[in-house]
Structure 1
Amino acid sequence: MPGYSIRALQPDDVEVVLQFELAHKSFFERSIEARPDDFYQPEALQQHIAEFLLLEQQALALPTLIFNTDKELIGRANIKDIDQLTKSAYVGYRIAEHWSGKGVASFALYELIQQAKQMGLMVLFACVATENKASMQVLKKAGFQQMETIPQVAIVQGKAVAGYLMWLKL
């Protein structure tokens, strides 16, 4: 899809990721579990990135960033919890509010699926809150199917939120 690019997370992305997370914190917290307050400190985010990159080195994750043509960070998308025995992993994404509904999540998910295939994965999973209709639509459009209901997929604004475990055979 023109207009977007995706690249691997890098050690020097602390400032750009911190600004992205801070700018969209309230939007994200309306539909997904809030991060702890100390996450939004440069040292904590640097640790978060270092841990993600270590998981990548161990072939357990693939953290990426999504940019628009102006090189603005507009989303994050990850393959995580890679299980080499079952050749499975989980995918997730978070897109800036003003870029939601513009195909960014679909672009990111398509790119993650292509990466997963190149990594030899056979199955991808995703968890989505029942109320998150937009994300559910993105997953279904990519071929994900509902596998099971999860009574508490997250705590959003102090309330337990039900969701679905979705899966895609690659």
Structure 2
Amino acid sequence: MNRLLKIQRASETDLEAILLFEFHNKTWFSEFLPSQVLMRQNERYFKQQLSGGQNLVQFLVYLHNGALVGRFSFQFLDPQHTVAEVSYRVAKQCSNRGIAQFALRSLLPILACYGINELYAQVSSENEASIRVLKSCGFEYSVTKEASIKMPSGIQDTVVYKWRVGSQERLQ
């Protein structure tokens, strides 16, 4: 897999590629993300994210041919940048190929080197694919927030998973 993918930190020069990625996959992403999240994602929104002023870092996943197929965002939750929340998405044509799992597993040691000790992820309780990805990467169930997310299919529970430095060693 590592010969087929390239993972790099996003910068302002990636803005056009990110906008195209989001546009081409909007219908797919709307199955897993609340509409209010998708509605606010415009050029200004991404420019702010990429400027580095929002306590956020993003990584992009490219195929060997240069096609952007995934985006991982890490939002810091504390001033010391030791706790963060991850959100990610993979293009529909690349789903169920192990890309999310490979990229997240690859990014965890990098994040630990930057001082992140804990990482959280919130997913709809009905998003079984993301739950499998998180569990396979060493995330453990933390809490369920009942009726906390409004999806096109209705109100759903949110499940929170937590990863801590050292979780990956148990997977080896």
**Range of TM-score over shorter length:** 0.7 to 0.9
Deviation at 1:125, TM superposition (A): 0.5
**Counterpart of 2:47 in structure 1: which amino acid?**
A
What's the TM-score, normalizing by structure 1?
A: 0.86
RMSD: 1.9
Deviation at 1:153, TM superposition (A): 4.3
What's the TM-score, normalizing by structure 2?
A: 0.86
- Superposition pairs of residues 1-170 of structure 1, within 5 angstroms: 1-34=2-35, 35-37=37-39, 39=41, 44-45=42-43, 47-54=44-51, 56=52, 60-85=55-80, 87-157=82-152, 159-170=154-165
Structure 1, unmatched stretches of 5+, are none
Q: 1:116 to 1:82 in 2, by over 3 A?
A: farther
8 Å Cα contact 1:128/1:153 also seen in 2: no
Q: 1:149 to 1:38 in 2, by over 3 A?
A: closer
Deviation at 1:82, TM superposition (A): 3.8
8 Å Cα contact 1:126/1:167 also seen in 2: yes
% identity of equivalent residues:
25
Output the CA distance in 1 between the equivalents of 2:147 and 2:81.
25
Deviation at 1:37, TM superposition (A): 4.1
Q: Which moved more, 1:134-143 or 1:159-168?
A: 159-168
Structure 2, unmatched stretches of 5+, are 166-172
Q: 1:37 to 1:83 in 2, by over 3 A?
A: closer
